[in-house]
Amino acid sequence: MNINEIIKKCQKNNSKAQATLYELYAPKLYAICYKYSKNTQEAEDNLHDGFLTIFKKINQFKHQGSFEGWMKRIMINTALEKYRKDKVFPLINEESIEEVDTLDIDDETIKLETLLNGIQNLPNRYRLVFNLYILDGYSHKEIGNMLEISEGTSKSNLSRAKVLLKKELTQSQQQNLNTFYDEF
Amino acid sequence: MSSKNLEKLYREKLKDLEMNPNPAVWNKIENSLITQKKSKRKVIYWCFSGATVAALFLLGLFLYQPHPKELIASKKETTEQSSKKQDSTNTVNNKNTSETNQENNNKTPTNKKTIVKNTVVATSEKKQTFSPKKKEVKQQQTQPTLASIYNSKTQTKKTEFTVVGTNEKHTPVSSIKDKKLITAISKPSITDTVLGTQKKNLEKELLAKNPLEEQHDQKDSFRNFWSIAPMISQYVYGSFSDKSTVDPRLDDAEKTGQRTTAYGFNVAYQVSKKIKIKTGIHRITMLQTTNNNALSGVIKISSFQNSSPKLIESSDSSFDQNANSLTSQIVTLNDELAKSSTQNNELEQRFGYIEIPMEANYGLYQTNQLSFYVVGGFSTLFLTENNLEIESNGFSYSEGEATNLNSINFSLNIGTDIEYHFSEKWFLNVNPTFKLQTQTFSKSSNTPYLFGISSGINFKF
């Protein structure tokens, strides 16, 4: 069964096709949910809500363009929706932002888990901006519109996110080294 | 340890990341899908059961309409009832008579008088009888009277005549005293007079009964009928509240209810001359525009509190390109709006329903050609269309859909219905209506209404 057949069957509310679609795309979409959420529970909730939206709106998909892209957008939207009404974002002093261009870190040894934890531990809006800009390629202007913030705020949020991430990763790296030395 | 750009590191490691979710998530999704299907079924079941009840009600009314034969029977029953009323007086008198009879058992009646009386009674029966049934009742009622006549003596004869007199209503005989009565009865000429008087009275009675008959005839001339009509309606959307249904920030903005056209057809059943029951199916749309210069300040993609974006498919195959084209559209929109902030921007909210009304008409004024009804009822509305659109200087963009619209809405309908019957089979109706919506929005106390006028050419069958 190719993807178009699965879509058509899903449009007819076929349970088997829905299960197949989930099996095929859940890993990719769950990764998106995980990156945009603050913890596993929230990621699972978003995956649940996102898939329900996909099945509900699958009739609106006209087989033009990438189906995967369409589903990804739904997942991102689901995640953003959670925070859209959350108007309480931490305010930061833009002057205090330091640029983080380089990071002294061993990219070979760094664990994926550390990278993910780093994102999840970021304050909500920093996490969203970081994901939208770095991982999903949205511009600051677009992010500003999506999150109802100004372009400048988006930029400063990203910088702040990077500073926090750098701290987190460096700390994690240090801990790893300490553990390594302790073993000797 | 190599120095690495943080952004690059994350992009490389996390861009195409795949993670296996907890299997419990799928079970939860599956359950939610089943619940959704069930609730959908419930709605369909509810809709169908509602329609079935309505259909059965109409069918019941149709089937329980008295058959022409039954109508005659009921007419007779009415006559019987009226005669029974008279007879009840008789029965009382009869009782008195029989009591008197028992007291005067030994005394013998005068044959002559009895014969005359019999004749009188018999004649009166003949004249009074309008239907065979009535005759039967009459006979049953009069038989004991006759029997008592045979056994009665002179004193009871007065009572007997009183009985007959009561039967005939105001028969002068009732006032005749015993002796006079005996003499009178023994003389054939006077008997004739008595009979003559009775005849006149009976004629009067017949005349008096004629209007009743006419009424029956009129009722007979009314025939229950069905009518079916394609309808076209014009509605104007309005609301009792100034509050915005889209976003509280637009509460102060100027809102205008727009005129929309609805289509559908009506089926009606004329239950009685004055009462008509109507149902049907209509496709209706409600449209409201919010005009505000400040709108552009509020508009951002899916930034309205009660809206969610509609996903737009792009022909590009890559997700990122898709995303960019989608958002660039949004950016263009916002730029456009920002530029035109001093000009007039419009947010157009459109929502459409399939409407199933259930209404009753009560006739206030009716002639052969013209009927004027008051209409009351309710409608069930199933949401089919939900759209938010922003228009600015000819540039329009679908903002998405409202998230606070209930999928089922009810309306209370009141109005009038004017019918012009231009032939036996066809009539035109014009129906101004006010429809108060009750369950339109889930998160807003906004109570919208529709005011409009419907019209159609009806076919009777």
How high is the ipTM of this complex? 0.84
Measure CB to CB from residue B19 to each of A27, A48, A142 and give the nearest one. Answer: A27
Contacts of B52 (CB under 8 A, 6+ apart): none
For residue B183, the SS3 value is helix
End-to-end CA distance of chain A: 55
In this complex, do B25 and A48 lie within 8 Å of one another by their Cβ atoms?
yes
Q: Between chains, do A52 and B33 touch, taking CB under 8 Å as contact?
A: yes
Q: What is the pLDDT of residue A25?
A: 93
Binary contact (A74, B311; C-beta < 8 A): yes
Return the higher-pLDDT residue of B320 and B33: B33
Name the pLDDT band for B401 (thresholds 50, 70, 90): confident
- Please check whether residue A41 touches B, CB under 8 A: no
Q: What is the mean pLDDT of residues B371-400?
A: 79
Nearest to A11 by CA among A71, A66, A76, A56: A56
Please give the pLDDT value at position B369.
Answer: 84
| Same-domain check for residues B235 and B263 | yes
Residues A106 and A80 grouped into a single domain: no
| Contact: B6, A110; criterion CB under 8 Å | no
- A–B CB contacts, 8 A cutoff, strictly below: 175
The rounded distance, in Å, linking the Cα atoms of B334 and B311 is 17
Q: Does B23 touch chain A (CB under 8 A)?
A: no
Highest mean pLDDT among A108-122, B247-261, B314-328: A108-122
Average pLDDT value over all residues in chain B: 67
The band of B314, judged by pLDDT with boundaries at 50, 70 and 90, is very low
CATH value at residue A141: 1.10.10.10
Spatial distance between the Cα atoms of B81 and B99, rounded to a whole number of angstroms:
26
Cα B317–Cα B323–Cα B324 angle in degrees, nearest 5:
100
pLDDT at A30 over 90: yes
Angle subtended by helix axes B188-221 and B178-186, to nearest 10: 90
Q: Name the nearest CA neighbour of A31 among B7, B17, B25.
A: B17
Q: Label residue A13 by pLDDT band (50, 70, 90).
A: confident
- Residues B390 and B263 placed together within one structural domain of the fold: yes
Separation CA B163–CA B252 (nearest Å): 85
Residue A34, domain CATH: 1.10.1740.10
Least CB–CB distance from A52: residue in B32, B310, B327? B32
Mean pLDDT of B276-285: 91
Whether residue B243 is found in the same domain as residue B173: no
Domain that holds residue B199: 76-219
Tell me the chain A residues in contact with residue B28 when contact means C-beta distances shorter than 8 Å.
Answer: 48
pLDDT at B63: 63
Same domain, B207 and B258: no
Instruction: Report the DSSP pairing between strands B426-437 and B370-392.
Output: unpaired
The band of B282, judged by pLDDT with boundaries at 50, 70 and 90, is very high
DSSP letter (8 states) at residue B175: G
Q: Is the pLDDT of residue B228 over 80?
A: yes
Instruction: Report whether pLDDT(A56) > 50.
Output: yes
- For residue B75, CA distances in Å to B78, B126, B134, B203 come to 5, 19, 11, 20
Paired tokens of B157: 């004869």
Same domain flag for A121 and A75: no
Residue A71 domain-assigned?
yes
Q: Look up the domain containing A70 and give its range.
A: 3-84
- A3 reaches B (C-beta below 8 A): no
Residues B128 and B247 occupy one common structural domain: no
Same domain, residue pair B214 and B238: no
Q: What percent of chain B has pLDDT over 70?
A: 47
Report the residue of chain B nearest A116, measured CA to CA.
B14
Q: How confident is the model at residue B119 (pLDDT cuts 50, 70, 90)?
A: very low
Nearest residue of B to residue A23, measured between CA atoms: B26
- Exposed e or buried b per residue across B67-92, where buried means at least 16 C-beta atoms within 10 angstroms of its C-beta: eeeeeeeebbeebbeebeeebeebee
Which residues on adjacent β-strands are paired with residue B238? Answer: B449
| Confidence class for position B434, pLDDT limits 50, 70, 90 | very high
Domain identity same for B192 and B250: no
Question: Which amino acid is it at A132?
Answer: L
Provide mean pLDDT across the span B423-437: 90
Greater model confidence, A48 or B189: A48
Q: Are A154 and A146 in contact (CB under 8 A)?
A: no
Indicate if B331 and B420 belong to the same structural domain: yes
Within a domain: residue B428? yes
In a domain, B269, yes or no: yes
How far apart CA B353 and CA B435 sit, in angstroms, is 13
> What Å distances lie between residue B313 and A72, A79, B134, B384, CA to CA?
12, 20, 83, 21
Q: Is residue A45 part of a domain?
A: yes
* Higher-scoring residue by pLDDT: A63, B264: B264
Confidence (pLDDT) at B368? 81
> Which residues in chain B are contacts of A64 at CB distance < 8 A?
313-315
B-chain residues near A165 (CB < 8 A): 6, 10
Mutation site, A105, A130, A140, A159, interface B, largest B CB count within 10 A: A105
What mean pLDDT do residues A159-169 have? 88
Does the beta carbon of B38 lie under 8 angstroms from any beta carbon of chain A?
Answer: no
Query: Total structural domains in chain B?
Result: 2
Domain boundary residue among B200, B219, B238? B219
Of B391, B446, B403, give the one whose Cα is nearest residue B304. Answer: B403
Q: Would residue B371 count as lying in a domain? A: yes
* Interface mutation vs chain A, best among B1, B5, B10, B387, most A CBs within 10 Å: B10
Backbone phi and psi for residue B19, each to the nearest 5 degrees, phi listed first: -135, 140
Question: What is the model's pLDDT at position B242?
Answer: 76
Which residue from B341, B350, B244, B245 is spatially nearest to B295, judged by alpha carbons?
A: B341
The gap from C-alpha B263 to its chain's centroid, in whole angstroms, comes to 20
The span from the CA of B245 to the CA of B238, in Å, is 12
B151 and B248 belong to one structural domain: no
Q: Are residues B228 and B339 in the same domain?
A: yes
Look at residues A57, A84, A111 and tell me which one is the last residue of a structural domain: A84
In a domain, A51, yes or no: yes
Regarding whether B248 and B129 lie in a shared domain, the answer is no
- A58, part of any domain: yes
Residue B245: HSE in the Cβ half-sphere, 13 Å Cα cutoff:
33
User: Helix, strand or coil for residue A30?
Assistant: helix
pLDDT score recorded for residue B157: 44
| Residue in A19, A73, A112 nearest the CB of B323 | A73
pLDDT tens per residue, range B233-263: 999 988 887 777 777 777 777 788 888 899 9
**If you average pLDDT over residues B135-148, what whole number do you get?**
45
Element (H, E) at A125: helix A124-130
Residues in Cβ contact with B458 at an 8 Å cutoff, skipping those fewer than 6 apart: B227, B228, B229, B266, B268, B419, B426, B427, B428, B429
- pLDDT at residue B140, rounded to an integer: 47
Question: For residue B86, what are its two tokens?
Answer: 């008279």
Question: Which residues neighbour B460 within 8 Å (Cβ) at sequence distance 6 or greater?
Answer: B225, B226, B227, B424, B425, B426, B427
- Residue B205: pLDDT band by 50, 70, 90 thresholds? low
Q: Which residue of B has its CA nearest to A51?
A: B29
